[in-house]
Amino acid sequence: MARILLHTCCGPCTFYPLDRLRAAGWEVRGFFFNPNIHPYQEFQRRLEALQAVSEQESLPLIVRSDYPLEQFLRSVAFREGDRCLICYTLRLEAAARCAAKSRFDAFTTTLLYSKRQKHELARHIAENASKKYGIPFYYEDFREGWKAGQARAEKSGIYRQLYCGCIYSEKERFFISPSRRRTARKASDRFPAGGDTE
């Protein structure tokens, strides 16, 4: 049976790609390397969620125990607008390198499952990593199973994160700028609490 290395960003995003790959006849092994997840406690929480999925689904894992947060931040500094490109490159090149070294037949990534990721960018970077390390990249648009995968994750009761991973995405998810706050305040003046504000 052909072996594929599945780069896994987190537990919830693993269900659907794993089912699809197994149905297509692959022997799957997960690979966790995500120094883009901040802070460290959040990183640990997501890894634990993936380990729970691994146990539940009998998915063997390769976990990179290093956490080069400093390398991630240094690569992104002053290029924050390109941070997803840098982030995907760091992670997908690590997956391709590991797959080539461990003689897998191909590699792929759960980043192709999330509707919140830059799908075409992730695909392009994985294709480049494939050429660079001489290991086939398996492409599939796993987003088609978004709803089914989300339902499984919810049912399994594992931790589901609220932001993409890096501190920048955490800010974008929760920070409300003073101007947005003012607009929200004006709206709530017009619509009293309990009214239909959105």
The annotation places the binding site for [4Fe-4S] cluster at 9-10, 84, 87
Binding-site residue ranges: 9-10, 84, 87
Check binding of 13 to ligand SF4 (CB under 6 A): no
Q: Least distance from C-beta 71 to ligand SF4, angstroms?
A: 13
Binding segment toward ligand SF4, per CB under 6 A, in 12-20, 54-62, 162-170, 186-194: 162-170
Give the count of residues interacting with ligand SF4 (CB under 6 A): 9
**Which tokens sit at 196?**
């239909």
Cα(83)–Cα(80) distance, integer angstroms: 5
Q: What number of other Cβ atoms are within 10 A of residue 54's Cβ?
A: 20
Check binding of 10 to ligand SF4 (CB under 6 A): no
Q: Which of residues 79-138 bind ligand SF4 (CB under 6 A)?
A: 83-84, 87
Nearer to ligand SF4, 116 or 182 (CB): 116
Among residues 37, 2, 48, the alpha carbon closest in space to that of 21 is found at: 2
Is 53 in contact with 15 (CB distance < 8 Å)? yes
Nearer to ligand SF4, 49 or 166 (CB): 166
Nearer to ligand SF4, 5 or 125 (CB): 125
Element (H, E) at 6: strand 3-7
Q: Which of 5, 53, 100, 166 touches ligand SF4 (CB under 6 A)?
A: 166
Among residues 139, 126, 130, the alpha carbon closest in space to that of 104 is found at: 130
Cα(187)–Cα(192) distance, integer angstroms: 9
Check binding of 164 to ligand SF4 (CB under 6 A): yes
Among residues 92, 99, 94, 90, the alpha carbon closest in space to that of 27 is found at: 99
Q: Which residues lie near ligand SF4 (CB under 6 A)?
A: 36, 83-84, 87, 164-166, 168-169
